Amino acid sequence: MKRREFITLLGGAAAWPLAARAQQEKVRRVGFLGAATSAVGGPWLSALVQRLGELGWTEGRNLQIDARWAEGRNDRAAEIATEFVRANVDLIVTWATGPALAAKQATATIPIVFALATDPVGSGLAASLARPAGNATGLSAFNLDLVGKRVELLREIVPDLRRLGVLGNVAVADTAFELREVIKTAQTLGFDTTAVEIKLSTDIVPALDAIKTQPQALFVVGDPLTFTNRVQINSWALNQRLPTMYAIREFVVAGGLMSYGTNFPSLFRRAAEFTDRILRGANPADIPVEQPTKFDLVINLKTAQALGLEIPPTLLARADEVIE
């Protein structure tokens, strides 16, 4: 045998096991149930995919992600969850309690990772934070201290605040619970509160317009419904010259005044780590639900100027992000 032929044969023999392993590597299928729209959740999905890539999961090689969007509708979330079960995906990733519950009601066997749920134990997603015991685990945002913090931040911008409007989707149990907590906290501080309860997108403007006593500020409880309609809510508030408080940065990017809450990209990167562990064999029942530790204060100066508000320098100095 000629030397060149021998080297070629040897090289082929060395490459064959690598090629065989690549062909044999199993592609894991992940269903991504987006609670809102792709415009809203796309960056968060990107954060999830990026972190999965860092952990060794590459789309087209050993991972396939099927992303579908519920657009703030619980009925659509239930449909998507059923579609994922029929497709026999290996794992479902979602966020918000409504979609997470829809996934859990659709399957008791396919693992579920929720990037954020307000009260996983109270809603039935998990038996306990330390030991979920079912097929779902993830991150919880159940922190009543944040409600009081947001109300206090509003009072820093509106020192004479006495009348507070509160908007929330009562079709979702944990959102309705948070709405009640906001009202209770505000009343403890001596505010008069007006609750604006909604269930559908078409409820939002009529419900806000029906407020008889003009509030001095509007507190919006975040969920997929208010999230999907954040531009509409902000337009109404600007027309009424009302400062707004939110839990999520993207409300403020869309024209709201201020938010204080969890950093969402970090949540989805952490959700990717849960996903990685489960795809490698961990049981979601044994993975404790975690609570986020990073909270961001975001202020929109352009909106403040449009409202004729002067943001205290001390508050600006504390902000993690100022949108100008």
Across the chain, where does the E strand assignment appear?
A: 28-34, 63-69, 91-94, 112-117, 136-140, 163-169, 192-198, 217-220, 244-246, 258-262, 295-300, 321-323
Q: What is the mean pLDDT of the chain?
A: 89
Asked whether the predicted pLDDT for residue 3 surpasses 70, the reply is no
The model's pTM is 0.78
Task: Give the burial class of 212: count Cβ atoms within 10 A of its Cβ; 0-12 exposed, 13-18 middle, 19 or more buried.
Answer: exposed
13, amino acid identity: A
Strands 28-34 and 91-94: parallel
pLDDT category, 20, cuts 50, 70, 90? very low
Asked whether the predicted pLDDT for residue 19 surpasses 70, the reply is no
pLDDT, tens digit, 9 for 90 and up, residues 117-167: 888 998 899 999 999 999 999 999 766 678 889 999 999 999 999 999 999
pLDDT category, 287, cuts 50, 70, 90? very high
Asked whether the predicted pLDDT for residue 15 surpasses 70, the reply is no
Task: Give the burial class of 313: count Cβ atoms within 10 A of its Cβ; 0-12 exposed, 13-18 middle, 19 or more buried.
Answer: exposed
pLDDT category, 21, cuts 50, 70, 90? very low
Asked whether the predicted pLDDT for residue 93 surpasses 50, the reply is yes
What is the set of domains in the chain, with CATH numbers?
7-142+264-292 (3.40.50.2300), 144-262+296-323 (3.40.50.2300)
Q: Are 96 and 69 in contact (CB under 8 A)?
A: no
DSSP codes, 70-133: -TT-HHHHHHHHHHHHHTT-SEEEE-SHHHHHHHHHH-SSS-EEEEEES-HHHHTS-S-SS---
